[in-house]
Amino acid sequence: MFTYLSHASPLHRLNPTMKLAAMGVVALAATAAFDPFIPSLLLLALWLTAWQVGRIPWRQMWRWSLPLLLLPWPIALFNALYADLSRYPHPHVLWHWGLWTLSTEGLRAGLGVGLRVGVFVAASLLFVATTDPTDFALSLVQNLKVPDRFGYGVLVSYRFLPLLRREFEIIRLAHRVRGVGEGRGWRGWLEKTRRYAIPLLAAAVRKSERTALAMDAKAFGALPQRTYYRLMRVRRQDWLFLLAWVAYVAAVYALAWHLGWANLQWVPGS
């Protein structure tokens, strides 16, 4: 999860800034809704967009779908158990024990909160999986006029996590080749963490020094104006993608309003 997947799809060819703006529209739409109806339709649209337009393999989509399907339920149950039922005129209590009360209204509101979290995760997955890190950094600098240092910092951060994950796998395999056993219990976990943390920290420092030396060698930031080998342009299909998501969000809200499910106010909280 949260790894760029290189494919020749229409979603991969979109401008990263416009794609980020479209995902921002989806996130704002999910933030304003507390009923499960709106987040569920947004989540379905994100899933279909990643599968059909982004051409992400079915196996990868299934692996992503499991956390998105399981994540809302604990959040929904937690919010449902601690819902303030005094705000409802006639709550439908399903179960009560001590301080915990499970009701239909609380479960509905809690499920809405859980699905909102699922929408945020799905939008992030769609953007990260279909956006080249280099293109994203170039788009931030060229299209959004972000300072070069910030854009390059985003690129380094984007590249750093996969490198550290690879270093972790190398360290783990090296320990296994040398026959270093892993103890059980919390003592074994602490020992394993110590054995992995020190080499990972050393690798991170070493890669940071190499990055700093590379920036100095290329005179990064020495000149007021920079030239670029690739220019990130905003094309018509980028605007169409953004407008399509705006239209879909508006249609979902209109349908929810028509059905009486457009709950835009937080009810079960204290």
**pTM value surpassing 0.75:** no
**How confident is the model at residue 268, as a pLDDT?**
40
State pLDDT tens for residues 122-143: 998 899 889 988 888 888 888 8
Per-residue pLDDT 10s for the chain (270 aa) are 567 787 788 999 999 999 999 999 999 999 888 788 899 999 999 999 988 898 888 887 888 777 777 777 777 777 666 665 566 666 656 666 656 666 666 677 777 788 888 899 899 889 988 998 888 888 888 888 888 777 777 777 777 777 777 888 888 888 778 776 666 667 777 777 778 888 888 888 887 788 778 777 777 767 777 777 778 889 999 999 999 999 999 999 999 888 877 665 544 443
Q: For the chain, give every domain's residue range.
A: 16-136+234-259, 146-217
Single-letter code of the amino acid located at 34: F
- DSSP letter at 15 equals -
Q: Which two tokens stand for residue 265?
A: 């106010």
Q: Which two tokens stand for residue 230?
A: 């690739």
Alpha-carbon Rg of the chain, whole angstroms?
Answer: 23
**Cα 199 to Cα 103, 174, 180, distances in angstroms:** 51, 11, 15
**Cα 10 to Cα 130, 231, 238, 243, distances in angstroms:** 10, 18, 10, 16
95 bridge partner residues: 102
H helix runs in 15-147, sequence order: 16-31, 37-48, 58-70, 72-81, 104-129, 133-142
Backbone angles phi, psi at 34, to 5 degrees: -115, 5
Give, to the nearest 10 degrees, the angle between helix 133-142 and helix 16-31: 90
